[in-house]
Structure 1
Amino acid sequence: MSDLGRVLRLDARRTALLVAVPVLTLVGTAAALPALRPSAAYWDNTVVALVNAVRFLGPVAAALAAWAAVRERPLDYLRDLTARSPATGVLFDLLLLSSAALVSYAAIAGLAAAVTLARDGAGHPQPLGVAAGATALVLHVVVGYLTGRVVPHRATAPLAFGATAMWAALRIPGVSWWSLLPPAAFPRIDLFTAMRPRVFADQVGWTAGLTAALILGYVLWATRRYLLVLPLAAALAATGVATLGLHDSGSAAVRAAPAEPVCRRWPLVVCVHPALRDALPRLTAEAVPLAARLNGTPGAFTAVRQRPGWAPVEVAGGTAFVHLDEDLSPGYAARAVRQISHALRAPGLCTAGSPGGYRALVDAWLLGDDLPAIDDTGAARRFASLSERGRRAWLRRHFTEYRNCALGPDDFRPSRPKKHRAPEMSRRALDRT
């Protein structure tokens, strides 16, 4: 027992563990942060950032594990002093290295969760997604370490890094089911959508089954205990079932996820996805002038609601439905309001634009832009001379022409007062004359 304790204490003081934790934490943080920079704090994207980070973190973990295996191989003679199985030291090494990798992963996950919580993240955390990234990382550790045990050479660590990096590089987000195999490559999850939990469950099953198969295969090779064939076959079967599940998921890895919007109700009702609640003040400020100018016309609206990207932009029933930039990049509110102006065009009549630029003149006023120069300088001058109230009255009279892109020079001419005819003389008066 004293020899066993000495060997265990020696294993626990290895410098590989001291190097692995900070290196993996730095690499994983650098890989996850770019996906967390956009303004929208969405839990599904936080999980996706963690899973995608393993594509960069995994090869480094595999290289460190292979380096540890090669570096500590000369100490195997100390383990031979004990009555332990030849596989015991390998299993203990894998436990220590996997623990170090998981400590780093936990630190990265904690940082990502803190960033999302600080921005009032919408949606719900997915523990299965976190588990999928963790098991994929452990798989890289096992692959790297066992490669170092089987091929104890100085070039093994770079070889493990290169092989696992190439395996990760084969994944292109959102192209095929192949990208779902760990380490998975997910595209950014759009708002109003979410990852299917089954995808993460299949990934956990795939990595757990393959990891168990590799460990059992090595122990079988080292100890010649053929009773391990049955659990080895079960592990391979689990990996195969999970592969079929990921293949069936394919492009259906993402599903629609309705979200209860957050709203601001004065002076307009403005509702957005809860992840974009910071957009409410700016979007309201941009939409109010347009709503005031359209008041009294068939295009009037009293509410603005954000829609998913696949739903059309339109103005219907007094509500303007718009799309918003998920990263809330500069000018996002002005672009959303411009969508409302474009939605007021008649689909079949405005395909070729407005002749003469008359509609552009009105659009600029509706959106608060400077009036553009058009060929008909007289029409532009007369429209510019109207007061705000006069322009609104003008738009109520000519909204149909505006909507149908049929505005012309006659619509900008001053209206002539109607001539009042003298009342007809009565027949009796006519007879008198």
Structure 2
Amino acid sequence: MPSVSDLGRVLRLDARRAAPLVAVPALTVVGVAAAWRTMTPGVDGWDNAVVGLTGSARWMGPPAAALAAWPAVREHRLGYLRDLTARSPATGPLLDLLLLTHAALLAYGLAAMVVIAQTVLTDRPGAAHALGLLAGAAAVTLHVVVGYLAGRAVPHTLTAAVAFGLTGLWAALRGTGSSWLNLLPPAALDRLEPFTTLRTEVPADQLLWSAGLAAALVVGHVWALTRRRRLVLPLACALAVTALGTQRLSAGGSAAVPAHVGHVCRQWPLTICVHPALDSGLPALETALTPLAARLAATPAAFTRVMQRPDGEPGGVRQGVAYVHLRALTPGFERRVVREILGSLADPRLCAAPRYARGRAYRAMVDAWLRGEETPATASSSPRPATGGMEPASVAASVRAPVVGGFALASRRFAGWDETRRRAWLAAHFDDYRDCALDHRHFR
């Protein structure tokens, strides 16, 4: 009849084996938070979902490695009991790896379900990348294998912390630059902008790399335990797959490539066309751009159509069309589009000249009206020219008085005009507005 102490040992052993399953909710929360942080706000689509899943695998990896290292350290103390059985010495480690991998993949699967559900429910464009999901799963599995084998190799209490730190550094120190090293799983993928897509070979190559390296580590550990020569061939095949994945990632180039995507348009009162993933922002763009188009209607910068363009193509207003750039529907995106259009109306060479500093202040006053903001009507917003550091009160007054007085008077006059007069004034002085050559005389 078993004693109370034997029952306690059994309960403690079961608790240790159940610990990975208890950690599943924590890993799931980490995965969902990482995916949500990585995904571009306001841009829903399958490409963005793959980036989110990659980010989820990237930051789930370190805690998964620590979770795998901890049971390996604890179970190593019972290794002498396994040696007394007729089973292969590799059976126990393989069963432990199977349990730990199932727990980590369960957490990753739950996080992936949240990301995929969000993408499906919004019904956004793009093709689903199943390989992106598998590549993330393989990366998480690789972290579990690395953490577990580290715990087996160095059965010390600090091994789990070291595994977490090293895998965390591997995830954190790689940026989203152009180096192919950033594509090694778990990849540090940059957010995909509209009119770009993920190169389809990238998830496949990452899957090869992660699966090959994980298999090589597991087969190598089993070979070290059993010394069976028949394992040399699968070990060589796993290493060859890893080398193939590395070669393909290093030779493939950038992860993002241009995508030929049509526009979604809103026809009235302006024709505004954007990337299909950004169509929910059309009402806000219409509200912000319609007053601007009305105020510019009588000028050479008049436009009746707004077209979103990829980042690499030029913007500006040409032949009645305003070409703009829009990456995401983050707060204030419509105001940024308005500012971009107004910025494209200025002559950069003339407006950057020091002698047009006063003109830039008057232009800013007109821009405030064009943006729909309050026009400054006091001299506190006026420019103050530099006078070399020493500025006695009499000198400062003599230098600033004409400028301050002229700007204040122009500001008060402009603020007192109605909308019709302001539009007529802008049509008459548009060239000086564009060249930052305005002064107080234009507001007489």
TM-score, normalising length: structure 2: 0.81
For residue 147 of structure 1, the aligned residue among 141, 147, 150 is 150
- Is residue 275 of structure 1 aligned with residue 283 of structure 2? no
Q: Is 1:387 aligned with 2:390?
A: no
Structure 1 residues 227 and 194, CA, compared in 2 at 3 Å: closer, same or farther? same
Match of 1:368 in 2: 372
Q: Give 1:309-324 correspondences, 5 Å limit.
A: 309-324=311-326
| Match status 1:398 vs 2:429 | yes
1:49 corresponding residue in structure 2: 52
Partner-residue secondary structure (3-state), 1:349: helix
Structure 1 position 327, deviation (Å) = 4.2
- Count of paired positions: 403
Residue 298 (structure 1) aligns with: 300
Q: 1:163 aligns with which of 144, 162, 166?
A: 166
Q: Which residue of 2 aligns with 1:6?
A: none
Is the Cα contact below 8 Å between 1:307 and 1:321 reproduced in 2? Answer: yes
Larger radius of gyration: 1
Given the superposition, is the C-alpha separation of residues 411 and 209 from structure 1 closer, same or farther in structure 2, using an over 3 Å criterion? same
Q: Output one character per residue of 1:52-85: Cα deviation in whole Å (capped at 9) or x when no partner.
A: 2333321221222222223334555665576543
Offset, 1:234:
1.9
Q: Give matches, 1:325-336, under 5 Å.
A: 326-329=328-331, 331-336=332-337
Q: Which residue of 1 aligns with 2:93?
A: 90
Cα deviation, residue 160, structure 1: 2.6
Inter-partner Cα distance in structure 2 for 1:358 and 1:15:
71
| Bigger Cα displacement from structure 2, 300-309 vs 104-113 | 300-309
Give the secondary-structure state (helix, strand or coil) at the position aligned to 2:265: strand
Check 1:412–1:181 CA distance in 2 against 1; reply closer, same or farther (3 A cut): same
* 1:215 and 2:218 are equivalent in the alignment: yes
One-letter identity of the residue aligned with 1:360: A
Aligned to 2:263: 261
CA gap of 1:52–1:361, structure 2 versus 1, over 3 A, is closer
CA contact (8 A) 1:297 1:396 kept: yes
CA distance in 1 between partners of 2:72 and 2:22 (Å): 14
The residue aligned with 2:110 is 107
Q: Report the Cα distance in structure 2 between the residues aligned to 1:85 and 1:386, rounded to whole angstroms.
A: 92
1:111-162 Cα distance to aligned partner (Å, 9 max, x none): 1222333444443332222211110111111122222333334333333323
Q: Which moved more, 1:306-315 or 1:202-211?
A: 306-315
The superposition leaves residues 244-267 of structure 1 with CA deviations (integer Å, 9 ceiling, x where unpaired) of 2222235x1221223322221111
Report if the CA contact (8 A) 1:11-1:93 is conserved: no
Residue type of the alignment partner of 2:137: A
Query: Where in structure 2 are the equivalents of 1:124-273 lying within 5 Å?
Result: 124-174=127-177, 176-250=179-253, 252-273=254-275
Aligned to 2:388: none
Q: Give the aligned partner of residue 390 of structure 2.
A: none
* Further displaced range: 368-377 or 179-188: 368-377
Q: Is the 8 A contact 1:324 1:333 kept in 2?
A: no
The residue identity in structure 1 corresponding to 2:41 is: P
1:91, CA displacement in angstroms? 2.2
Q: Percent identity?
A: 55
Contact conserved, 2:39 with 2:51, CA < 8 A, in 1? Answer: no
> In 2, Cα distance between the equivalents of 1:339 and 1:170?
34
Structure 1, unaligned stretches of length 5 or more? Answer: 1-9, 414-433
Read off the aligned partner of 1:231 and give its amino acid letter.
P
Code of the aligned partner of 1:402: Y
- What residue identity is the alignment partner of 1:264? R
Tell me by how many angstroms 1:292 deviates: 1.1
Partner SS state of residue 351, structure 2: coil
Q: Following the alignment from structure 1 to structure 2, what is the Cα–Cα distance between the partners of residues 60 and 364?
A: 50
- The runs of 5 or more residues in structure 2 that have no matched partner are 1-12, 383-402
How much does 1:379 deviate? 4.2
Q: State the shift of 1:287 in Å.
A: 0.8
The 8 Å contact of residues 209 and 246 in structure 2, kept in 1 or not, is answered as yes
CA RMSD of aligned residues (A): 2.8
Q: State the 1:409 CA deviation.
A: 5.0
- 2-side partners of 1:395 and 1:159: how far apart? 66
Is the 1:279–1:328 contact (alpha carbons within 8 Å) kept by the matching residues of 2? no
User: Counterparts of 1:379 and 1:143 in 2: how far apart (Å)?
Assistant: 71
Q: Tell me whether 265-274 or 118-127 shows the greater mean CA deviation.
A: 118-127
Counterparts in 2 of 1:348 and 1:163: CA distance versus 1, 3 Å: closer
